[in-house]
Structure 1
Amino acid sequence: MRTDMHVQQGQPERGPEIWIRGPVALPEDPPPSPAAGAPRRFSWVGTHGGAGVSTLATVYGGRDCGRNWPGPGDPQSVLLVARTHATGLAAALNTLEVFRRGEAPHGLDLDAVVLVADAPGRLPRPLAERVKVIESVVDVYRVPWVPAWRLGEPSGKPPREAAALARLTGRSR
């Protein structure tokens, strides 16, 4: 009969500590953190004409693919862009269906849908419900109405309301 302390205190017998924690790695150079490397690059892809791809690429960086899929040498991380009007949300849902069916070009990584406000103010209930459907299947970033962008002035800081998108793209200032 063993008389070590674990058995004497009514605790189960334990093997060597390595069995519990697993092997301990020897100190090496730490792997590079994502923040230390270059910011992740994205391709902006519009789901319909006038979605705002060029403006978003100007403000947030990344590759402006217009309404085309990224080509060779373009970032394979895709941000789909749509306006928040009925046609834009329907186009976003249709493009999401292309990804769901596996019909998007091989190797593309759908990161999120970026919805750009089509007008100032709140969305009407039917449109807000369509946004909820999109949010149920993919990350969604919302960009508010920016009057300066309408005038063709996409310079300056990204809108405060789109801070999460700025963090994603590495453009928070």
Structure 2
Amino acid sequence: MVMRSVPAEGPGVAHPGQPRPQQQGRPQRPGRTRQQRALSGEGVGWVAAHGGAGASTLAKVLGGTDLGCRWPDASQGEPAKVMLVARTHADGMRAASRALGALREGRHPRGMELVALVLVADAPGRLPISLARRVRVLRSVAPVRRVPWIPAWRMGKQAKDLPKEVFRLGALAGTRPAEAGEPR
């Protein structure tokens, strides 16, 4: 399932959920039009809703483009399809909500498609009830995929065996995990 919303005119936002920056550079001469490039139909981009969300790790393990905390840039030929990544702690879910709000308001590049909101566990075990409720709210707005706690990633190491959720996420993204191991 791909979430599409009404795109904003002009360039994308520098950071999901933040106001659009003003354009800089020389004004266009009358009669000249700026050449518009479209986002790439190839690959997937990983957008972090906040620092430390896990987008870089997922891009490294599953492939795709690590976009950091910004929407894809057509001038760089970046992917139209994005996975928005957030941790499951309260601040992470608030950041995800802000980014989804920006999508709903059309503050994103033309042609961008949200494939899923990826929630990466911030700790082992179950979520507290208040955070589990927040996941349900987010799920009502966008497709949500969960990545469980992976202790090896905390230490910056490759996981010996990746959980099945990571393989499913790779299938959704159209990629395969780079790390060895069968799904648990």
Aligned partner of 1:53 among 41, 52, 55: 55
Q: Are 1:59 and 1:158, in contact at CA under 8 Å, matched by a contact in 2?
A: no
TM-score scaled to structure 2, two decimals? 0.68
Once the two structures are superposed, what CA deviation does each residue of 1:56-104 show, in whole Å capped at 9, x if it has no partner? 0011110001112112311110100000000000100110000001111
By relative contact order (CA 8 Å, sep 6+), the higher-ranking structure is 2
SS at match of 2:58: helix
Spell out the pairing of 1:8-157 with structure 2 (5 A cutoff).
Answer: 41-71=43-73, 72-154=76-158
Whether the 8 Å contact between 2:150 and 2:159 is mirrored in structure 1 is: no
Name the CA distance, whole Å, in 1 between partners of 2:109 and 2:71: 7
- Count matched residues: 135
Q: Which amino acid aligns with 1:171?
A: R
| Amino acid in the other structure paired with 2:104 | R
AA of the residue aligned to 1:135: R
Q: How far does residue 148 in structure 1 lie from its aligned partner after superposition?
A: 0.4
Shift of 1:163: 3.5
Q: What is the CA distance between 1:125 and its match in structure 2?
A: 0.3
1:47–1:82 contact (8 Å) kept in structure 2:
yes
Deviates more, 1:75-84 or 1:148-157: 148-157
Relative to structure 1, is the Cα distance of residues 157 and 57 closer, same or farther in structure 2, using a 3 angstrom cutoff? Answer: farther
The RMSD of aligned alpha carbons is 1.9
Deviations 1:20-73 (A, max 9, x none): xxxxxxxxxxxxxxxxxxxx6110000001001110001111000111211231
The letter of the residue matching 1:60 is L
Instruction: Name the structure 2 match of 1:6.
Output: none
Bigger Rg, which one: 1
The superposition leaves residues 91-126 of structure 1 with CA deviations (integer Å, 9 ceiling, x where unpaired) of 001100000011112221111100000000000000
Is contact 1:79-1:114 (8 Å) kept?
Answer: yes
The normalised TM-score by structure 1 is 0.73
116-125 vs 64-73, greater mean Cα deviation: 64-73
Q: From the two aligned structures, give the one with the greater helix fraction.
A: 1
For structure 2, list consecutive stretches of 5 or more residues without a partner in the other structure. 1-41
**Structure 1 unaligned blocks of 5 or more:** 1-39
Distance 1:104 1:110 in 2: 10
